[in-house]
Amino acid sequence: MKEDFLSARLHDRQMAGNLRSLPDSRDLCDFVSNDYLGLAANTALWTRIKERYGQLGPYPNGGTGSRLLSGNHRLYQEVEDQLKGVFQAEAVLLFNSGYAANQAVVSSVAEKGDTIIYDQLSHVCLKEGAWLSRAQTVAFRHNDPDDLRMRLQQASGRVFVVTETIFSMDGDVAPLAEIVALCEEFGAYLIIDEAHSTGVAGKDGSGLLVEMGLHQRVFARVYTFGKGMGVHGACVAGSLALRDYLVNFGRPFIYTTSLPPHSVLSIGESFLYLAENMQLQQDLQDKINLFKTHYPKYVSDTAIQPVMIGSNEKARAVSLQLQEQGFDVRPILSPTVQRGKERLRVSLHVYNTEKEIMEIADKILKVI
């Protein structure tokens, strides 16, 4: 079977300057990962998980099947009950990833005749969830409540609004209070992805919505654990009716082998560890403030600091220069971001030293 059509598309992408490839594993100073609180590499947490798992075993090495079949081991119930307290929700349902959780919620709750209105810079899994539903889909201008109001006025059927708390490419925060108020005014159901605020904000890592006291006014909240929490998996927090609905209609939940017991236990232990080490949030904020002081060209109050470049070729070149000087910073290229807004995405962590942060800020200013 000829595969010329694959090679042709890859060639076109290479000619456009945005061909992707898997990066090499290199011993560089990490300014690229989403391990904001350093929990993924935290040896104390690793030891805690290992010891607790050894005390509880033996468990299967894998999930063994869908949770609706053989994969619903008792650790699921324990950790979901724990997370209900963290996220102050009536019910929580664990998923294998944030991608699966977002896609399950958005694709299943809306039907033909409904409308899904999503922020134009929402993660692709949220957009794909909207496209997989039979609802009408429309984007509103990024973080623009006035444009959202106009879209709400034009919408028909049940209306679902989809956005994020912290956006992964610009590190900006949605105008959450205004969006919540608009959804209440128009009777719309609000779905919010807290991927990049899970762990780094809120009591015990509960995210921005809990921190702002808005969580009870949101239809569905999605939290992911592979970023700030340093482990793996995700959950949807909301009502008991929403949980039961997703068990029955959320295809990425129904037709997926469950997380292995070790992964589920790791989620619970990560949140327990963070609750005992809440100074990590302030440590991260101190590093963010330090970077902003030494790189004043863009103001982001989060661990995500975009450095705008403007072309795929230059973004790649600047990234390579920084890597050659020992700093792991990767380019974000179109079509991942809009053409002309190619950039470096600098991720800050509690384990980046003050010297490293000042050095990378200085070097970026010299090469861009």
DSSP 104-168: HHHHHH--TT-EEEEETTS-HHHHHHHHHSSSEEEEE-TT-HHHHHHHHHH--SSEEEEEESB-T
Instruction: State the Cα–Cα distance between residues 28 and 205, nearest whole angstrom.
Output: 28
Q: Mark whether 108 is an active-site residue.
A: no
- How do strand 234-238 and strand 220-224 relate by DSSP bridges? antiparallel
What does the block give as tokens for 15? 């000619």
Question: How far apart are alpha carbons 160 and 237 in whole angstroms?
Answer: 16
Q: Which pair of tokens denotes residue 96?
A: 């294998």
Residue with tokens 């809440």: 278
Q: How many CB atoms lie within 10 A of CB 127?
A: 21
Say if strands 330-332 and 327-328 run parallel, antiparallel, or are unpaired: unpaired
Q: Choosing from 73, 127, 196, 232, which is the catalytic residue?
A: 196
Is 34 among the catalytic positions? yes
Candidate list 193, 194, 328, 342, residue with the active-site label: 193
Which is the catalytic residue, given 35, 96, 97, 123? 123
| Residue among 31, 63, 114 at smallest CA distance from 295 | 31
To the query of whether residue 96 is one of the catalytic residues in this protein, the response is: no
Q: What's the distance, Cα to Cα, between the start and end of the chain in Å? A: 46
Is 193 a residue of the active site?
Answer: yes
Structure tokens at 111: 């039907």
Per annotation, catalytic residue among 96, 102, 133, 168 = 168
* Catalytic residue selected from 18, 30, 34, 73: 34
Q: Which of 73, 227, 232, 349 is catalytic?
A: 227
**Known catalytic residue at 123:** yes
Q: Any catalytic annotation for residue 366? A: no
Phi, psi at residue 136, to the nearest 5°? -70, 135
Known catalytic residues?
Answer: 34, 123, 164, 168, 193, 196, 227
